[in-house]
Amino acid sequence: MEHQDRTRAGYDGVVELYASLFAGRLEEQPFSRNMIGTFAELVRGSGNLRAADVGCGPGHLTAMLHELGLDAFGLDLSPAMVDHARRAHPKLRFDEARMEDLPVEDGALGGVLAHYSMIHTPPEHLPALLAEQARVVAPEGLLLTSFFATDGPEPVRFDHKVAPAYSWPVDLFVRQLADAGFATFARLIHDPASGRGFLDAHVLARRA
Ligand SMILES: C[S@@+](CC[C@H](N)C(=O)[O-])C[C@H]1O[C@@H](n2cnc3c(N)ncnc32)[C@H](O)[C@@H]1O
């Protein structure tokens, strides 16, 4: 089974549980919330308000971007997640799509949010996703991506509850962003609970 199929099947099976656990959790996540607020402010400042929440899951962050003044829409490869997002946020647009092949014109977006949505992508496939995000973002457009980080030198595969996932050395991830054409200008590394064994990283980058 391809990794996307496994991820899709995994998320299709946990939609209600995932939404009940995470769709309201931003209240308790000041770091994510503030980075998303900063991202939205910068996208607004760019004058191009169109923004995609890629791997949007239940759609709560798409809704947050909308509340922050962006013309936001959500994309996800899990049909059950898209269905949930549409029901939870009927005024917003959500579509089924793979990050490998975004249904967006070249250079159309002021920003892309990829909040823990590339965590299930095996490291050798990450460049293709970042290249696709670079394709759809306008020059000077913004990318905010959040992921699990590690202090070690290499990405580490771990058994996430939904599907296998990877934590990344932040410098290595930033180099991958640079290779795709994104210049990182802010990074927040947060240790939510050291016992968990990894860090949360939030990286803001601008399309060259
Ligand atoms: C950990 S959840 C994050 C959801 C949401 N962004 C959040 O922060 O709560 C990962 C999401 O990314 C989606 N996803 C994973 N790989 C994807 C891909 N290749 N293309 C599109 N969506 C993908 C999954 O279906 C899932 O909804």
Compute the Cα dihedral for 56, 59, 61, 65 and give only its sign. positive
181: left (phi over 0), alpha (psi -120 to 50) or beta: left
pLDDT of residue 145: 98
56 lines ligand 1 (CB under 6 A): yes
pLDDT of residue 13: 85
162 lines ligand 1 (CB under 6 A): no
d(Cα 72, Cα 75) in Å, to the nearest integer? 10
Mutate to test the pocket of ligand 1, among 28, 54, 117 (most ligand atoms within 8 A of CB): 117
pLDDT of residue 195: 62
Per-residue pLDDT of the chain (208 residues; tens, 9 = 90+): 589 988 998 889 888 988 888 887 777 788 899 999 999 999 999 999 999 999 999 999 999 999 999 999 999 999 999 999 999 999 999 999 999 999 999 999 999 999 999 999 999 999 999 999 999 999 999 999 999 999 889 999 988 888 889 999 999 999 999 999 999 999 999 887 666 668 999 999 999 9
| Contacts of residue 131, Cβ cutoff 8 Å, sequence gap at least 6 | 180, 181
4 lines ligand 1 (CB under 6 A): yes
pLDDT of residue 55: 98
Helices (H) and strands (E) in the chain, counts: 7, 9
pLDDT of residue 196: 64
202 lines ligand 1 (CB under 6 A): no
Q: Is 1 exposed, middle or buried (0-12, 13-18, 19+ CB in 10 A)?
A: exposed
Interval between CA 163 and ligand 1 midpoint (Å): 11
Residue 103's SS3 state is: coil
pLDDT of residue 169: 96
**Which atom belonging to ligand 1 lies closest to the Cα atom of 146?**
8
Residue 69's SS3 state is: coil
Number of domains in the chain: 1
* 72 token code pair: 């936001």
CATH of the domain at 90: 3.40.50.150
d(Cα 32, Cα 34) in Å, to the nearest integer? 6
pLDDT of residue 92: 98
pLDDT of residue 206: 98
pLDDT of residue 198: 81
pLDDT of residue 160: 84
| Structural domain span for residue 75 | 2-207
Check if the beta carbon of residue 144 is closer than 8 Å to that of residue 208. no
**Which atom belonging to ligand 1 lies closest to the Cα atom of 4?**
19
pLDDT of residue 192: 75
